[in-house]
Structure 1
Amino acid sequence: MAHWVRYQRSGAAGFGTLEGNTITVHSGDMFNGATPTGERIALSEVDLLAPTEPTKIIALWNNFHALAAKLNSPVPADPLYLLKAGSCLTNPGATVHRPASYDGKVVYEGELGIVIGKKATAVSEDEAGGYIFGYTCVNDITAADIINKDATFAQWVRAKSFDGFGPFGPVVATDVDPATLVVCTVLNGDERQRYPISDMVFSAHQLVSRISHDMTLNPGDIICCGTSVGVGVMKAPSNTVDIVIEGIGTLSNTFVQ
């Protein structure tokens, strides 16, 4: 297993593998032939960036049996998803601010993210694993009141694409079996979500295969697997949200009203 990170140091971006508090710097392409340079730097010397630069962020809806049962929603025959704007991305540790134009409920959604490692077009489920680079932590922040504000049109993309509403990271973990993972969301020190990825309606390989038949997936693209029960509103003036997935790491961000 490797934990890949992107970082900024002295105004320059770089990438490498993180072990403990040390980054082994690499050169080349993270997804295709990255080579260690021999340089090692302390994590404390850098600012972590979002670990990839995706061309798109795909976010699943109703992809967990437990949440479907709670909402009394039928299990979908095909993956149900939307696209979040690339401009919503922010870094691990970043502070996310309430949009000035919105005064309604803002919720956290702890999720597993699939990171694509090579261009995937119409791949089979059996082939899909070869196109997955690794997995990451996602907080799919949502302005909940916007979704159904207009009775004629569900505004999913707008609700989920405000600046800062797409933190992910801090690492991409390779050689992980997603079916063994558990997503935990902690709000201001209180655990609010804990659910197994094995409860997904569509597995990671099924998602990559099915979505790649709809659109080409590019290296660095993120598929946010959807969330399960326990989503809630961030009510405090300042909210610390940790998305914890053992085997990957902890994504921590602050949401300020």
Structure 2
Amino acid sequence: MKWARARASDQTEIVGVVADNMLHPRAALGSEASAGEPVALSDVSLLPPVVPGKFFGLWNNFKAAAEKAGNEHPSHPLYFFKADTSLAGHGDEVELPASAGRVIFEGELGIVIGQQCKNASPEEAEQAIFGYTCINDFTSLDILNADPSFPQWTRSKSFDGFGVVGPMIETDLAWQEATITVLVNGRERQSYPASDMILPPAEIVRLLSQDMTLNPGDLIACGTSLGARPVKAGMEVEVVIDGIGGVSVTLTAATDA
């Protein structure tokens, strides 16, 4: 089942189930209660399908990338947070600030939490996963490594629009069979199997729940693999995962203050 969040022509926001190119409004994400008549997808603008309370990003969670870099496989997620204001959705324009310098894309599989969990068992962690979405974790390499005494993970990944999410949430995805692909101006630039993950989704959720309570709507980017590349203004960057769809944004140059 696919879930989406959208803005109607009257500027109201709708959350609901997508079927037959129609958005069927629901009272809330995951709710079975109807909240109105179906609306054609062509008549709405898609928004990020979830507004996370916590937006996690994982590092070093794919075997191929870890082996190329000579990194050990982590036994616990190595993570950072992205600001809530970094959120962007399908069709948005993302401004590249001059201060960001070199920026790379990172296509990733995203986990959406559906129920609160703390110190979850493996079974509880699996049940806490509402579904999966596409994420583009844009990163400023220049800022990340600017100060040798302190890698600036949060700053480098939290510029407005640097957390692209969408276009929908798929609740029935067989993630082990998924491939994460990134297209830049329509040309494939990154492609890798989700099955190469070091820590799989349920284990990520279980371990994170040992650190802090996970709440409905929290979002976890599972990390990226080989192939992340620099991008610049004027480029269209799309992350595609079969079974979910593709989330695309256009990069723009910084405007004068």
**TM-score (structure 1 length as normaliser):** 0.95
Amino acid at match of 1:59: G
Q: Tell me the residue number matched to 1:29.
A: 28
CA distance in 2, matches of 1:69, 1:20: 43
Contact 2:120 2:210 in 1 (8 A): yes
Whether 1:6 aligns to 2:2 is no
Amino acid at match of 1:240: E
Q: Tell me the residue number matched to 2:160.
A: 163
Q: Tell me the residue number matched to 1:191.
A: 188
Where 2:188 maps in the other structure, the secondary structure is strand
Amino acid at match of 2:87: L
Q: Tell me the residue number matched to 1:73.
A: 71
CA distance in 2, matches of 1:181, 1:36: 31
Whether 1:180 aligns to 2:177 is yes
Where 2:126 maps in the other structure, the secondary structure is helix
Where 1:150 maps in the other structure, the secondary structure is coil
- How big is the shift at 1:37? 4.2
CA distance in 1, matches of 2:156, 2:35: 42
CA distance in 2, matches of 1:131, 1:114: 10
- How big is the shift at 1:36? 2.7
Instruction: Could you tell me which runs of 5 or more consecutive residues in structure 2 were left unpaired when the two chains were aligned.
Output: none
Amino acid at match of 2:250: T
Contact 2:135 2:221 in 1 (8 A): yes
Whether 1:255 aligns to 2:248 is no
CA distance in 2, matches of 1:90, 1:229: 23
Instruction: Could you tell me which runs of 5 or more consecutive residues in structure 1 were left unpaired when the two chains were aligned.
Output: none
- Listed as ranges, the matches of 1:83-102 within 5 Å are 83-102=81-100
CA distance in 2, matches of 1:209, 1:177: 19
- How big is the shift at 1:106? 0.7
- How big is the shift at 1:190? 1.2
CA distance in 1, matches of 2:91, 2:19: 19
CA distance in 1, matches of 2:34, 2:187: 39
Match 1:244 to one of 240, 244, 250 = 240
CA distance in 2, matches of 1:187, 1:34: 38
- How big is the shift at 1:147? 0.9
Q: Tell me the residue number matched to 1:133.
A: 130
Where 1:223 maps in the other structure, the secondary structure is strand
Tell which deviates more after alignment, 118-127 or 133-142: 118-127
- Name the structure where strand makes up a greater proportion of residues: 1
CA distance in 1, matches of 2:127, 2:173: 13
Where 2:64 maps in the other structure, the secondary structure is helix
Amino acid at match of 1:7: A
Amino acid at match of 1:51: P
Q: Tell me the residue number matched to 1:107.
A: 104
Amino acid at match of 1:15: V
CA distance in 2, matches of 1:198, 1:118: 24
